[in-house]
Chains A and B, each alone.
Chain A
């Protein structure tokens, strides 16, 4: 039996070991099969409460967590901060204390500040899952990307993966860097210097500033979303210039391996970081499969942290999936 991830919180991929990642991916793989079957409702988390606390707007991640929790049989509450007491000035710590008093089992938290989810996790008794904190980490995205790659390529170790675009502002990039390097993949970052992580080499990656060179002989080309405010704040001059040099189209993709696959965490800016021709090519693009694996990975994570919480509290835990 593989040594499972035993923590009550999932705050990032940096602290995960290879066996823990493998165990989570194996479990998610089984849920992927469940999700494709007709009856998707399980009772693993029956009686448990999952609260989605989102300080940043998100449709896909919140929906993915909500579906994952519901398919496991949990009760789900969604809190969008625009309509809550947070808009009235309540601090993060006070919100944490308030929610904690309602005895949820899992808090799924997204916040615009790096480190916010870790801070909140120190103030609650339930399990906490990081659904994205600032530019820091987005561990379930890293896991779902890894699962998607593993299902197509059969492995992670030894693959050459290029993460391209606005890595500086990307929590997805950081979670993927930690996870993929831990699993033995060779990770490259491709970005203009203004959008690169300073000192990225210390994270065990190779840095390129030319897209064709960066993706040369890569198995996976992972594109990141570029946000409009990056133009206004002077990181890059314009979307058209960005697409000219860092946007992925079929011609540039030819530099990668002939069987290279393309990924994107979404939502995409078509014609800015990725050409529709590539994004919609079912032979090359894994984008829809990433979304599918997202639900499976989040089911695996929710189940694991809830089980770990129960173990910590000495509560009974039913049959394992």
Chain B
């Protein structure tokens, strides 16, 4: 992909920058791959003569979204998703950077696979891709992976992805070792011996005759890990917390001053276990969808800042992996393309200001991962999204660009649609309706 050398001015926009609290009419001038200027003064008439002008027609213009938890499925499961297909879905959703999980085949537990993913992402030339390195070799939870070398080759943080580091001894050493390099450990907080079920343990599971995964599976692991974090002084991020108790546990840990952050995925704050209905496998997620009281507590946690980020937890599964009995069906749902709409929903229904909600998918995940992204900054990368926050669309197999169509929001209407996505100054996506 050739670097962009010219100047592009995105004008006549509602300019939103969560990091600085900017919400004003204005524009962004990109020069090459970088932001040269932004603010109310970037208007037509006050631009360099050679600048190409994009009229945003009053739509929102914000830093591109940073989705800190996606499965790209490549290498190893290209029938479900590829780096290119996920990239197309991402930019259609305004996501300009993704952190991808190491649960591939082969696992991202050595620098060769990091290089492979980086090269494929460069070739796709869509959303930027930042791989997680495996925390343990093969994500087997036994031996610590070469996290120092992985970090040198570009891994942003370390996690066994969908698998929890179950052994307390391994986690203790991992946190200690990572702390010596200042590296971040991301955990799927779920005690494996309690996690054998198919959906949230409770009334619905009881009625349907499905095995339950109790909320305790999550908070036992969180409590354990946070004790170890306290002892080791490591940096720790809890992925996709799903229970009310977990919010409280993280809240207490933060009050203690521990170096802990966490995220939540849209299905957990927008849906409940009721979405399982009569064995609907698109609602089979890991962790499982919980109760209404959990959903409400997650919204509170997002509101008061206990939950730092919203990540899509994009997990593509092909039709055959979901068209099974609930027990046999795979866990997971796609989400990278619905992340923006789900974040706007958080603002509308959760009572968060638009900037506060957008911070959860821009500046905050960038800060957690230590990436120079997710904000408007002169000299920073021109990664931008132009969107209409009021326009509705229906999530369906037709509208989703991911190779897999397993959205827990399938056949529902979401509000907020992307008009244009810009990565390093290049427009990589222009909405089909082309209003901009």
Task: Report if B274 contacts A (CB, 8 A).
Answer: no
Q: A199 and B279 in contact (CB under 8 A), knowing A114-B326, A174-B209?
A: no
Q: A113 and B325 in contact (CB under 8 A), knowing A118-B279, A135-B210, A171-B209?
A: yes
* Nearest CB in chain B to that of A137: its residue: B209
In contact, A114 and B323 (Cβ under 8 angstroms): no
Chain A 187-221, CB within 8 Å of chain B: the 1/0 string? Answer: 00000000001111011000000000000000000
Within 8 A of A (CB), among B192-209: 201-209
Task: Report if A185 contacts B (CB, 8 A).
Answer: no
Task: Report if A160 contacts B (CB, 8 A).
Answer: no
List, in ascending order, chain B residues with CB within 8 A of A133's CB.
Answer: 209
List, in ascending order, chain B residues with CB within 8 A of A119's CB.
Answer: 279, 324-325
Within 8 A of B (CB), among A104-138: 111, 113-116, 118-119, 133-137
In contact, B202 and A198 (Cβ under 8 angstroms): yes
Interchain CB contact (< 8 A) of B207 among A92, A113, A134, A203: A203
Task: Report if A93 contacts B (CB, 8 A).
Answer: yes
In contact, B323 and A93 (Cβ under 8 angstroms): yes
Task: Report if A228 contacts B (CB, 8 A).
Answer: no
* Nearest CB in chain B to that of A169: its residue: B209
Give CA–CA (A122, B104) in the complex, Å: 33
Task: Report if A91 contacts B (CB, 8 A).
Answer: yes
In contact, B205 and A198 (Cβ under 8 angstroms): yes
SS class, residues of chain B in contact with chain A: loop
Give CA–CA (A202, B207) in the complex, Å: 9
Chain B 272-291, CB within 8 Å of chain A: the 1/0 string? Answer: 00000011000000000000
Within 8 A of A (CB), among B302-357: 320, 323-328
In contact, B208 and A136 (Cβ under 8 angstroms): yes
List, in ascending order, chain A residues with CB within 8 A of B204's CB.
Answer: 199
Task: Report if B212 contacts A (CB, 8 A).
Answer: yes
Within 8 A of B (CB), among A154-191: 171, 174
In contact, B323 and A199 (Cβ under 8 angstroms): no
Q: A114 and B203 in contact (CB under 8 A), knowing A91-B320, A134-B327?
A: no
The tally of residues in A whose CB lies under 8 Å from a CB in B reads: 24
SS class, residues of chain A in contact with chain B: mixed
Which of B212, B320, B326: most chain A CB closer than 10 A? Answer: B326
Interchain CB contact (< 8 A) of A113 among B201, B205, B212, B327: B327
In contact, B206 and A203 (Cβ under 8 angstroms): yes
Interchain CB contact (< 8 A) of B206 among A113, A116, A137, A197: A197
In contact, A91 and B324 (Cβ under 8 angstroms): yes
Give CA–CA (A114, B208) in the complex, Å: 7
Q: A199 and B208 in contact (CB under 8 A), knowing A114-B279, A118-B278?
A: no
* Nearest CB in chain B to that of A135: its residue: B209
In contact, A113 and B202 (Cβ under 8 angstroms): no
* Nearest CB in chain A to that of B207: its residue: A203
Number of chain B interface residues as a range: 20 to 34
List, in ascending order, chain B residues with CB within 8 A of A137's CB.
Answer: 209
In contact, B210 and A114 (Cβ under 8 angstroms): yes
List, in ascending order, chain A residues with CB within 8 A of B201's CB.
Answer: 198
Q: A198 and B206 in contact (CB under 8 A), knowing A114-B279, A115-B279?
A: yes
In contact, B206 and A200 (Cβ under 8 angstroms): yes
Give CA–CA (A300, B130) in the complex, Å: 62
The smallest C-beta distance from B324 to any residue of chain A, in angstroms, reads 7
The smallest C-beta distance from A191 to any residue of chain B, in angstroms, reads 12
List, in ascending order, chain A residues with CB within 8 A of B328's CB.
Answer: 113
* Nearest CB in chain A to that of B279: its residue: A115
The smallest C-beta distance from B11 to any residue of chain A, in angstroms, reads 52
In contact, A116 and B325 (Cβ under 8 angstroms): yes
List, in ascending order, chain A residues with CB within 8 A of B279's CB.
Answer: 114-115, 118-119
List, in ascending order, chain B residues with CB within 8 A of A114's CB.
Answer: 208-210, 279, 325-327
In contact, A199 and B206 (Cβ under 8 angstroms): yes
The smallest C-beta distance from B233 to any residue of chain A, in angstroms, reads 37
The smallest C-beta distance from B283 to any residue of chain A, in angstroms, reads 12
* Nearest CB in chain B to that of A197: its residue: B206
Give CA–CA (A111, B325) in the complex, Å: 10
In contact, A136 and B209 (Cβ under 8 angstroms): yes
Shortest beta-carbon contacts, A-B, top 3: A135-B209, A199-B203, A115-B279
Q: Known pairs A93-B323, A113-B326, A137-B209. 9 more at Cβ < 8 A?
A: A91-B324, A111-B325, A113-B328, A114-B327, A115-B210, A134-B327, A135-B210, A136-B209, A197-B207
**Would you give 27 A-B contacts (Cβ < 8 Å), ordered by A?**
A91-B323, A91-B324, A93-B323, A93-B324, A111-B325, A113-B326, A113-B327, A114-B208, A114-B279, A114-B325, A115-B210, A115-B278, A115-B279, A115-B325, A134-B210, A135-B210, A136-B208, A174-B207, A198-B201, A198-B203, A198-B205, A198-B206, A198-B212, A199-B202, A202-B203, A202-B206, A203-B203
